[in-house]
Chains A and B, each alone.
Chain A
Amino acid sequence: MKTRRLWIIVVILALLTPVGIWLPERLRAGDAWGEWGPEDLAEEVGFLPRGLARLAGFWRAPAPDYAPAGWEEKPLAVQGAAYIGSALSGLLACAGGIWLLGRWLAAKEEARAP
């Protein structure tokens, strides 16, 4: 079967992903429920849970919210471009990750039953 066509579809979808930030912006929709940053949560409930505060800085992601850190105030067009960049690099990382995992599992199987 031809996988090329399916890859083309996935890449086209990746190029369309800015819809996923523009539409919520237009309709004034915020974060998903339960996915607020610590500051927003503290504002919402009046305090920041202590255990949550301790873990919140546990990991610094290189591209938080699918854009380079500090790009939150950039124009929406720039954010859209960053979002597409994240979509393309992320889909490559996911495909590469599962491909490596598959290769590793296949090698283990060959070693077990030559």
Chain B
Amino acid sequence: MHIPEGYLGPHTYGAAWAAMLPVWVVAGRRLRRGLSARLVPLLAIGAAFSFVIMMFNVPIPGGSTGHATGAPLIAILLGPWAAVLAVSVVLAVQAFVFGDGGITALAANCFNMAFVMPFVSYGVYRLVAIGAAARSVRRTVAAALAGYVGINAAALTTAVMFGLQPIIASGPDGRPLSCPFGLNIAVPVMAAEHLLIFGLVEAAVTAGAVAYLARTEPELVAPATVKGHGTP
């Protein structure tokens, strides 16, 4: 889902930068107001987890690979705005240091994985988990659904960005200047991969982590249902 350098034309990556700048500003303001001594170390762990979990490439035998992102998990635990910043930092490190995702495409990748994914995941989670106890089955199911729907939403916006390129810009010879695959290929392929496989991987990671943390750190998973933070 990391769009490499050059797969998006200037119109698309430019629009993505324009879209992400206000999102980063709002996320920064939100976080600044809610910033507590407790939140920053958790954000650091969230970003570190996201970076590491993205290195577990899951193969489709004979085909392509994909991986979970951890973005839905961060959104569930720390809120979608915190996830915007944490995942954006991860994507920046991946692009600049490891060449994973383009620099010009960085804002586009942030739009998909650090904006669409955490917000969709958070919405699904809130809708399904509302009022559930920390260790309830419903909360685990909500986390799984959040991961599954979130990564699929991001796969869709990514596929649309890829697929729009042949429509937006072709050379005088009629050949596309950037990503050569249209919507008719990009959307079904990305959707199928994520609906059938990578969505389940993100669901398992999110649900597994939430179920584990509900046992060990219930105040992190369901602050409203735990009386007297920090007491056993």
- Measured CB to CB, the residues of A under 8 A from B are 1, 3, 5-7, 10, 13-14, 16-17, 19-21, 23-24, 26-38, 41, 45, 47, 49-56, 58-66, 83, 86-87, 89-99, 101-103, 105-106, 108-109
Q: B176 and A49: CB pair below 8 A?
A: yes
Once the chains are docked, how many angstroms separate the CA of A33 from the CA of B219?
39
- Asked if A53 meets B6 with Cβ closer than 8 Å, knowing A29-B64, A102-B31, the reply is yes
Chain B 89-119, CB-CB to A under 8 Å as 1, else 0, gives 1101111111110111000000000000000
Nearest-CB distance from B9 to chain A (Å)? Answer: 6
Task: Name the B residues within 8 Å of A23 (CB-CB).
Answer: 57-59
Task: Name the B residues within 8 Å of A97 (CB-CB).
Answer: 47, 89, 92-93
- Asked if A66 meets B1 with Cβ closer than 8 Å, knowing A33-B189, A53-B6, the reply is no
How many residues of chain B are within 8 Å of chain A by beta carbon?
78
Nearest-CB distance from B26 to chain A (Å)? Answer: 12
Once the chains are docked, how many angstroms separate the CA of A71 from the CA of B169?
36
Asked if B49 lies at the interface with its beta carbon under 8 angstroms from chain A, I say yes
Q: A10 and B52: CB pair below 8 A?
A: yes
Nearest-CB distance from B81 to chain A (Å)? Answer: 12
Task: Name the B residues within 8 Å of A101 (CB-CB).
Answer: 28, 85, 89
Task: Name the A residues within 8 Å of B67 (CB-CB).
Answer: 20, 32
Once the chains are docked, how many angstroms separate the CA of A56 from the CA of B99?
11
Asked if B190 lies at the interface with its beta carbon under 8 angstroms from chain A, I say yes
Q: Which residues 179-210 in B have Cβ within 8 Å of A in the complex? A: 179-181, 186, 189-190, 193
Q: Which of B3, B89, B190 has the most CB of A within 10 A?
A: B89
Name 9 interchain pairs, CB-CB below 8 A, sorted by A: A1-B219, A5-B216, A10-B45, A24-B57, A33-B189, A34-B3, A87-B52, A97-B47, A98-B44
Partner of B48, one of A32, A51, A61, A94: A94
Nearest-CB distance from B11 to chain A (Å)? Answer: 11
- Asked if A50 meets B65 with Cβ closer than 8 Å, knowing A10-B52, A34-B179, A102-B40, the reply is no
Q: Which of B48, B62, B162, B181 has the most CB of A within 10 A?
A: B48
Task: Name the A residues within 8 Å of B89 (CB-CB).
Answer: 94, 97-98, 101
